[in-house]
């Protein structure tokens, strides 16, 4: 019998309303592991070059990993993927909560959705039973209402729901797929793909359990995490959430502020996790089997009414809607977070798009005639909140001079919006491949700039490197010694040792997005290897797991090449090669000549063609991807 997976992939064609099952076998799961790898496999196999991301031919894929649902902290994750409507390339986003575990318990490893329903529908999956049901009564409703209605309709309060939200229905290009109301598969615009298919939700209920080869090994790791593993930084993560380090980033000059113009924010103390804990926090939440409880639940009833069902701001949200927009009003940020979760918007892209508009307005490149009468100034919380709603609804106040609603324009993302407006606004769009930059500043983490430029999903922080962890002796560098990285590497270094470190780190992070394991858990690489062994029964090695990450990255790069992207799209934003003019990191920049040399070296280490950006035929064959080499280079 299989361990760690069910060997069942659900295929749903919404156009024909046909449902089928695939059973790909052990070799498939040991090659791709799930998550990112499984998504890349199906996108490469089945999407022709040039397919419309918002057309019926795109696939929408929900994929667990082989450790999803194991009774150990960090296992409550899965991935969602499609061709991205934001970048036109590989779209993948990872998410926690309980939905992925519920899918596993229902007997399924993944769902591959194609086609487009004629009317709004939702999927109802209860163990082996699969139904396509009418969802017109759910269309247009916010996420908490949809979840409550589905649980009542299905007669079970333990049903888990993934949904696109009203922003996905409106095809906002950075719409999220929301799970459990407040967990977002946020990046690359997958909610818009879901909305384009008239698929409002996927409701799941399972009664099975994950079969594991060596349950005691998994129990030992769970006990370690709850004991020794909780003695490090996890107690602060529980106490103050991911936003707990915001003020420290500001003190170092690494907090994105006013559209990345500065790295330090004078209002940081007002929006940090500690302040949230002391003021508006009313509870904490966790993902499946996790003892950390890092999720926030906040509530306000003053100028803004915020309900704890929508959770609370994570670090990315507090910075994107806060410091990046020059806003120090925590209640307004919490309300903006609620709006994003209620409508289904990526908080990172939402904040950066608004910050771009604010900078362009302050520079005189946008006017009140363009914005529908809004004075877009950094620090204006009311304007930020208003724009979140306008983006989600693709609305604006009055007809603008641009020939379309301003919210409608911003819903396209900052790159497309800037290309529509012109006037030099594109220079201030902080993005890579069309995806807005996350809330991490490369001028204090040089390797991060390389990772932003080369990520197949556009700028991303989850599978990227954060150099500060490896700049001095400590647990992070000790953890890399099993991969042959023996010494710390300075933050400002972009030479061969740093590039090698970036490659190994990112390949490992991509592997974790395949196996579906939270990056916040303090497991060593050896412990993760043992977890995979305990769950699956495979004699896995670090080499195998690293190659799985490299393989998944190579497939994503090959997919991008087939969809029209190339090495010319691996461009780090110019702003990071411009020195800070003030603050703790005054004068610091990523030297352009250094990043260009690092890019060339990174391509060489990965076996990517310097023109196409795709893996060479030799590299694909070495990774066991001869079928991909045939797709890219011909049989």
pLDDT digits (tens, 9 = 90+) for 587-604: 999 999 999 999 999 999
Q: Are 336 and 349 in contact (CB under 8 A)?
A: no
The C-alpha angle 256, 283, 305, rounded to 5 degrees, equals 70
Q: What is the pLDDT of residues 29-65, one digit of tens each?
A: 999 999 999 999 999 999 999 999 999 999 999 999 9
Between CA 30 and CA 3 the distance in angstroms is 11
Between CA 504 and CA 556 the distance in angstroms is 17
SS (H, E, C) 404-469: CCHHHHHCCCHHHHHHHHCCCHHHHCCEECCEECCCCCHHHCHHHHHHHHHCCCCCCCCCCCCHHH
Burial label, 610 (beta-carbon count in 10 A; 0-12, 13-18, 19+): exposed
Q: What is the pLDDT of residues 66-112, one digit of tens each?
A: 999 999 999 999 999 999 999 999 999 999 999 999 999 999 999 99
Confidence at residue 399, expressed as pLDDT on a 0 to 100 scale:
57
Lowest-pLDDT range of 209-213, 431-435, 548-552: 209-213
Q: What is the pLDDT of residues 562-580, one digit of tens each?
A: 999 999 999 999 999 999 9
Tell me the DSSP string of 511-524.
Answer: HHHHHT--TTS---
- Provide the pLDDT confidence category of residue 552 given band limits of 50, 70 and 90: very high
Average pLDDT over residues 178-185: 98
- Above 60 in pLDDT, residue 490? yes
Task: Give domain limits for the chain.
Answer: 9-205, 251-429, 442-521+541-633
Percent of the chain surpassing pLDDT 70: 99
Average pLDDT over residues 609-632: 98
Confidence at residue 103, expressed as pLDDT on a 0 to 100 scale:
98
Candidates 3.40.50.720, 3.30.70.270, 1.10.599.10, 3.40.50.300; correct CATH number of 442-521+541-633? 1.10.599.10
Confidence at residue 302, expressed as pLDDT on a 0 to 100 scale:
87
Average pLDDT over residues 205-226: 96
- Tell me which architecture the domain covering 9-205 has in CATH: 4-Layer Sandwich (3.60)
**Fold for domain 251-429?**
1.10.569
């Amino acid at each position: 019998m299989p361990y760690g997976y069910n060997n069942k992939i659900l295929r749903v064609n919404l156009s024909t309303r046909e449902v089928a099952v695939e059973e790909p076998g052990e070799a498939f799961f040991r090659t791709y592991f799930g998550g990112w790898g499984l998504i890349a496999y199906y996108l490469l196999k089945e999407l022709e070059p040039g397919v419309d991301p918002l057309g019926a031919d795109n696939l929408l894929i929900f994929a667990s990993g082989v450790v999803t649902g194991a009774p150990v902290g960090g296992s409550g994750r899965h991935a969602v993927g499609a061709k991205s409507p934001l970048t036109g390339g590989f779209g993948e986003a990872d998410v926690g909560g309980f939905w992925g575990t519920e899918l596993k318990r229902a007997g399924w490893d993944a769902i591959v959705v194609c086609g487009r329903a004629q009317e709004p529908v939702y999927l109802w999956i209860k163990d082996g039973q699969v139904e396509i049901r009418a969802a017109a009564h759910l269309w247009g409703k916010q996420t908490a209402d949809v979840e409550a209605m589905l649980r009542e309709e299905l007669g079970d309060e333990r049903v888990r729901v993934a949904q696109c939200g009203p922003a996905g229905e409106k095809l906002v290009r950075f719409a999220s797929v929301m799970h459990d109301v407040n967990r977002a598969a946020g990046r690359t615009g997958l909610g818009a793909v879901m909305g384009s298919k008239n698929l409002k939700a996927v409701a799941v209920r399972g009664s099975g359990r994950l079969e594991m080869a060596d349950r005691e090994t998994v129990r030992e790791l769970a006990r370690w995490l709850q004991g020794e593993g909780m003695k490090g930084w996890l107690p602060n993560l529980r106490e103050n959430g991911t936003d707990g380090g915001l003020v420290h980033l500001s003190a170092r000059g690494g907090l994105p502020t006013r559209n990345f113009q500065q790295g330090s924010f004078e209002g940081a103390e007002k929006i940090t996790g500690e302040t949230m804990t002391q003021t508006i926090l009313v509870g904490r939440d966790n993902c499946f089997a996790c003892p950390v409880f890092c999720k926030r639940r906040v509530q306000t009833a003053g100028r803004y009414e915020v309900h704890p069902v929508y959770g609370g701001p994570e670090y990315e949200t507090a910075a994107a809607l806060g410091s990046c927009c020059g806003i120090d009003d925590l209640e307004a940020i919490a309300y903006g977070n609620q709006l994003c979760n209620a409508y289904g918007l990526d908080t990172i892209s939402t904040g950066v798009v608004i910050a771009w508009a604010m900078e362009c307005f302050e520079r005189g490149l946008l006017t009140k005639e363009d914005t529908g009468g809004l004075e877009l100034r950094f620090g204006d919380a009311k304007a930020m909140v208003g724009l979140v709603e306008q983006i989600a609804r693709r609305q604006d106040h009055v007809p603008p001079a641009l020939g379309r609603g301003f919210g409608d324009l911003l819903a396209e993302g900052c790159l497309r919006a800037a290309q529509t407006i012109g006037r030099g606004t594109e220079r201030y769009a902080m993005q890579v491949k069309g995806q807005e930059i996350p809330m991490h500043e490369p001028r204090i983490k040089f390797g991060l700039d390389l990772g932003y430029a080369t990520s197949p999903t556009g700028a991303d922080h989850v599978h990227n490197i954060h150099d500060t962890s490896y700049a001095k002796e400590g647990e992070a560098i000790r953890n890399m010694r099993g991969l042959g990285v023996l010494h710390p590497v300075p933050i400002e270094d972009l030479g061969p040792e740093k590039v090698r470190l970036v490659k190994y780190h990112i390949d490992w992070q991509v592997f974790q997005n395949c196996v579906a394991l939270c990056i916040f858990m303090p497991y060593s690489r050896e412990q993760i290897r043992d977890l995979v062994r305990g769950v699956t029964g495979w004699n896995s090695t670090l080499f195998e797991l690293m190659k799985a990450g490299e393989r998944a990255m190579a497939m994503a790069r090959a997919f991008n090449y087939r969809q029209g992207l190339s090495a010319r799209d691996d461009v780090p934003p110019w702003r990071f090669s411009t020195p800070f003019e003030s603050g703790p990191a005054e004068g610091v920049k990523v030297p352009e000549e250094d990043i260009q040399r690092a890019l060339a070296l990174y391509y060489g280490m990965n076996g990517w063609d310097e023109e196409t950006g795709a893996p060479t035929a030799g590299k694909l064959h070495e990774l066991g991807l001869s079928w991909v080499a045939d797709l890219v280079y011909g049989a």
